[in-house]
Chains A and B, each alone.
Chain A
Amino acid sequence: MIHLNVLRRARFVCIALVAVLVLLAVRILWIQTAQYDRYQAKVIEQMTTESTVNADRGNIYDTNGILIATNITTYRVFIAPRTIAEAQAEADEQGEDVNLAELIALGLSERLYDGYDVTYYDVLEQTTYTRYLDRTIARQVDEKTADSILAFIDENELERMVYMEATGTRYYPYGTLASHMLGFTGSDSTGLYGLEYSYDTLLSGTPGKYIVARDAQGNEMPYEYEEYIEAVDGYNLTSTIDVFIQAALEEQLRTAYEESGGQNRACGIAMDPNTGAILAMATYPPYDLNDPWQLNSYDTATLLSSGLAGDSEDYAKLKSSLLLNSWSNKALNEAYIPGSTFKIITSAMALEQGVVEEKDSFTCNGAYYVSGIKIRCHKTEGHGHLTFAGGIQQSCNPILMEVGLRVGLEAFYDYFNAFGYLSKTGIDLAGEGNSVFHAQDNFRVLDLATASFGQNFKITPVQHIRAISAVANGGYLVTPHVVERVTDDNGNVIEEASTKQVRQVVSTAVCAQISRILEAGVSQNGGARNAYVAGYRIAAKTGTSEKIGDNDDAYICSCVAYAPAEAPAICALIMVDEPTKGFLYGSTVAAPYIAKFMETVLPYMGVEAEYTDEELAKMAVTVPDLRSYTIEQATAAAKRRGLAVRVVGSGKYVTSQTPQGGTKIEKENGLIVIYTGDSTAQSTISVPNLSGMSAMAANQTLINSGLNIRIDGTQSYLSGTGAAVVSQSPAAGELAAPGTVVSVTIRYLNEQDLE
């Protein structure tokens, strides 16, 4: 029997204990119900690792199936500091004299310092995060470096401490080619610009998932949380771009830009006028798609000349704005004033409306009065009497103004709209710019007059080439596109581009008429003579526009062309923004390059050259290889090609010759110097200065010196006047052997088509 007092106190203690247990039960109930969702989520979160199974991004091919964007494997190098610490502890315990962290830091930094900027101390610092199993050391490590690291891992038995993870990285085999059109991807493989951006969804595919439950040590757990969702690879794109045509266009843009000292980039588009397929689209300067964050040389120069400190905020700001600007697709984003190239459109409207005939006679007095305001022609003394066709070819502003006024405000506006200038073209690339034009309510006669010759409004190059293509193809407005086909990995076609004709704007007859007028302007005495290509009938129009607003003294020089004129296979546009060197006209800054472009791509496209007799006579010949011929045989062979022979030495057989066999020279007055016996070529002739001479004069001068000529640039020097040598190679004053070919570049320099 126990004292009652004790029992009472015992009851109290017992109740207290039970009360505590009940309180704890309540607490547990609260944790397991109110907090359930939260803790459940935390457990799942920390336990499951969701690794993404990358979907391979689709390849991009050019129209002929040449790979222009693909993926290559790179590696992410990472370490497991926790395992390193554990292994170190074990090594210490066994008395091994090894410092794993230092070993790893040394090994990795040796291999990753070059190219990835990983230093010894970077790695060492990462090894201190001993709670973690995955600390990244470097990304996008190439295969070769990865192999070297793998060897390092094997050698030092670091398998559970240093890891590499393969990832796909976008690779562009052609580097800078079509950079603005293709665009590039970010580090997360999302398209950022161009096709990569516009077709991102189709290209990227659907990444798969690998959800796996891991215990705290990172080992996989045998539970039902494991899940594998297979990745669906991205679709492949076949672009309408042709690598050859693209390269040719870029080459001409580059020379045009560099030779004219362009300041605000240049761009060009080549399009199949019948289908709307973009064959080439380029902006110069390009950027390296494999290293898009690297400034091009022009922008680097700008950045360096800014005088900003390399670590200043303004420097970084300028750099990023330069980068952003350099990535934008000028042919697509930027509206510009088309200038005289727009006269094609005005003419088409006028002829379609029947307000003018090709043969109608006009008189240009050098200026035209609209609403009492005097608007000058680029030829201030006036063109005098001209037919309407002549007015187009000579790019006469007053004639176009008068014709434009005859079309009338409303019709002009409607045509302008019908040619697609007031809407986006619907090209399958993101970021298309808008045109800037007068609102219809405010469209006055003066606006109409200036618009007639392409001034005072802005359109994008892609809008313009679409409208020009409509004239080229017989009046049909088509939608430009850069992707021909979307296919899956098995070649099944997912989507296929078809020619989308929006509407017929003008009649086929009117278009044929305009093509004829433009072609005559190129092959005969028009303002676009520099666009002439022997053997091809090219319709072209040049344009020079004064920039309004940001830089009033600057010009935009451009040229549009299509060929063959009667059944065009290609329509091209080249535009140089703010040229600074030489004659700042579309006819000198743009037309010669569009000619070279056409000369390169037309034969490639299977368009046969059809030479006129005159052209054939004028053509260059290929020098035959006369070595080992007798003097008689050599002379006969040269004669057959219309070339003269000069014999040096007294031997019987030809031992060497100048120019070499296979060299091209102009047929007229061509000369081959052949050496017989022991005689050899001696550089004895000082090359004369040809600068400013006409082609004929230059030819004569060289013949007199015993040299040959090869004319680069316009080919119609014999039928034209006023074309002059602008450059030569070898340079004046250099010594050359008799018969050496001197290349000269000839340009029309008096073509003042400034509106």
Chain B
Amino acid sequence: MSEKDEISWTERHKRDNAPQTVEPDTAPKKRLLFASGRSRKDPIFDTPVSDLGTIKQDKPLSCGSIDMTFLLIVLGLLLFGVIMAYSASSIYSEQQRDDSLYYIKRHLMFIMLALAVTVPFILKARPWFWRFFAIASYGGAVALLLLVLLIGQSEGDAQRWIQLGPITIQPSEIAKLAVAMTMALLMTKYEKQIMSDHKFGGNFRYGVLLPGACMGLIVLLVAAERHISGVMIICMIGAAVMLLGGTKMRWILLLGGAVVVMGTLLIVFSSYADTRLDIWLRIDELDPLGEAWQTLQGLYAIGSGGLFGLGLGNSRQKFGYVSEPQNDFIFTIICEELGFFGAVAVLLLFGLLAWRGFQIASKAPDKFCALTVYGIVFKTVLQAALNIAVVTNSMPNTGISLPFFSSGGTALAIQIFEMGIVLNISRFSYVDK
């Protein structure tokens, strides 16, 4: 594509005024999920729900097969994750639960559960469905975040979980997805205004204020949980979606600056964050049994693995030295057992996920789908990078799990579902006639 071809979706919409008629998928409509809602109007786009929105294509929307490359990458991560989750958790599991399989069984259970929920969506969902899903998830996230403040489980200062029978729900994980999708929706709906040269009522209101408010509500609620890493990740996802959605560069830079200032203030006024920061800076002076033990023991595990590792299953640090080795610090066990090559394999898989995910996004049928895929892939890789940065002491310790690897839980299920969204969207594209 060259610069000349650059036309906004809005313009294209005007040009291709004719209603979309082509349904490339020849399958009967009732087999499509929520296909019956076709006649209803999309509350945001103000168009029939089956209409993908602001874009009017001259090519028919085709529903192909899912992106196999992406699927393989995801399956690779999941498989690798299962193996390492078992290796890392077995000892801890044995000690805590008298059953070395406890955590891996839980891990597999969540994978099964997540696949059972996700697969139908991959197969049946139409791209427009995710717009409803976006709004629903946003509403759900806000509700859950409020709930968690009322009845949540707390650990230390932080209050982050809702116990639901055997399952703990961490609403901030849902909130991340909700923010990404809802903002994608807004950035798509108000694309014209965002692109306009009017500051107020134009690119600032719709490019910054509206998505900012959408994100801000969630951020406030997550901050009320004292979940710093959650706030940070949500802000970064939001910023990424805004950036990709077309917010003017100057606002992005301005917001970036503001975030830096806010973050600094947060660290200064929160003793909790302050302690973490202090540990980060003085790590090597600290007592390995003292406050920095989590991070230090993680470093011991990584460092002592060497280039080639101790061999799968041979970690020494998982014997109670690395804190909950099946969880946030699982990457250190990977490094210890599989060495630098194991670590690179993990990084490579996430790198590939980013590459392929972004490719899918660039071919997505509409801007909303594209931004959704961007947001999800960005979120996943960002979490992985932050987790690895934390355990390698490249940044202060804050509780971030490693997607697909950290043992079981709703977070794993949500991550799988997110991959399902990407895979579903990967099926749809406008094909050349």
Binding site for B on A (CB under 8 A): 1-7, 9-11, 13-14, 17-18, 20-25, 27-29, 31-33, 35-36, 38-40, 42-43, 46-47, 131, 213, 215-217, 221, 223
Contacts and interface: CB of A to CB of B under 8 A. Distances in A.
B78 interface: no
A17 B382 contact: yes
Contacts of A11: 358
A36 to B, nearest CB: 5
A5 B361 contact: no
Contacts of B384: 21
A287 to B, nearest CB: 43
22 contacts: A1-B430, A5-B6, A7-B1, A9-B243, A10-B244, A10-B362, A13-B374, A14-B358, A17-B378, A17-B382, A20-B385, A21-B354, A23-B394, A24-B347, A28-B302, A28-B392, A31-B299, A31-B302, A36-B304, A42-B288, A216-B321, A217-B95
A112 B266 CA distance: 53
Given A1-B430, A14-B358, A31 B392 contact: yes
Nearest to A2: B370
B335 interface: yes
Contacts, number: 147
Nearest to B385: A20
Contact of B358 (A10, A21, A24): A10
B320 A217 contact: yes
Contacts of A1: 12, 55, 57, 430
A13 B243 contact: yes
Q: 4 tightest CB-CB pairs across the interface, nearest first?
A: A39-B303, A216-B320, A215-B319, A215-B320
A79 to B, nearest CB: 17
A17 B320 contact: no
A10 B5 contact: no
Interface in B88-145: 91, 95
Most chain B CB within 10 A, of A46, A47, A216, is at A216
A4 B347 CA distance: 28
Nearest to B344: A25
B8 interface: yes
B394 to A, nearest CB: 5
Contacts of A31: 299, 302-303, 335, 392
A72 to B, nearest CB: 36
Nearest to A38: B303
A21 B304 contact: no
A17 B381 contact: yes
B24 interface: no
Contacts of A29: 340
B289 A131 contact: yes
Contacts of B152: none
Nearest to B380: A17
Interface in B1-40: 1, 3, 5-9, 12
A20 B394 CA distance: 11
B262 interface: no
A2 B303 contact: no
Contacts of B355: 14, 18
Contacts of A215: 91, 95, 319-321
Nearest to A20: B385
Contact of B351 (A4, A6, A18, A213): A18
Contacts of A22: 347
Main secondary structure on A side of the interface with B: helix
Nearest to A11: B358
Contact of B385 (A9, A17, A39, A46): A17
Contacts of B302: 28, 31-32, 39
B175 interface: no
B63 to A, nearest CB: 17
Contact of A43 (B3, B304, B363, B364): B304
Nearest to A1: B430
B311 to A, nearest CB: 12
B367 A24 contact: no
Nearest to B95: A217
Contact of A36 (B303, B343, B394): B303
Given A25-B344, A27-B392, A43 B6 contact: no
Interface string B337-359: 00110011001001100110010
B347 A21 contact: yes
A215 B321 CA distance: 7
B244 A24 contact: no
B307 A2 contact: no
B306 interface: yes
Contact of B304 (A6, A20, A40): A40
A5 B248 CA distance: 11
Contacts of B304: 36, 39-40, 42-43
A498 B316 CA distance: 57
Contacts of B317: 43
Contacts of A40: 303-304, 306
Contacts of B7: 3
B354 A14 contact: yes
Most chain A CB within 10 A, of B91, B303, B339, is at B303
A227 to B, nearest CB: 15
B230 interface: no
A3 B6 contact: yes
Contacts of A213: 316
B421 interface: no
Contacts of B343: 25, 28, 32
A22 to B, nearest CB: 8
B392 A21 contact: no
B432 to A, nearest CB: 11
A6 B367 contact: yes
A608 B267 CA distance: 98
A617 to B, nearest CB: 87
A20 B387 CA distance: 12
Interface string B278-316: 000000000011000000000111111111000000001
Contacts of A47: 316, 319, 321
A17 B6 contact: no
B246 interface: yes
Given A17-B385, A36-B304, 17 more contacts: A1-B55, A4-B5, A6-B245, A6-B246, A13-B374, A17-B351, A24-B394, A25-B344, A28-B392, A31-B299, A32-B335, A40-B303, A42-B304, A43-B321, A47-B321, A215-B91, A221-B319
A120 B311 CA distance: 50
A216 B363 CA distance: 51
Contacts of A17: 351, 354, 378, 381-382, 385
A129 to B, nearest CB: 11
B228 interface: no
A49 to B, nearest CB: 13
B307 A9 contact: no
B361 to A, nearest CB: 7
A32 B339 contact: yes
Nearest to A225: B316
B205 to A, nearest CB: 20
Contacts of B344: 25, 28
B300 A43 contact: yes
B388 interface: yes
Most chain A CB within 10 A, of B1, B246, B382, B385, is at B385
B316 A43 contact: yes
Contacts of A35: 299, 303
B146 interface: no
B217 interface: no
Contact of A3 (B243, B319, B367, B385): B367
A31 B332 CA distance: 11
B340 A24 contact: no
Contact of A24 (B55, B361, B385): B385
Contacts of A131: 289
A125 B263 CA distance: 41
A1 B362 CA distance: 7
A10 B357 CA distance: 11
B253 interface: no
A15 B381 CA distance: 12
Nearest to A224: B314
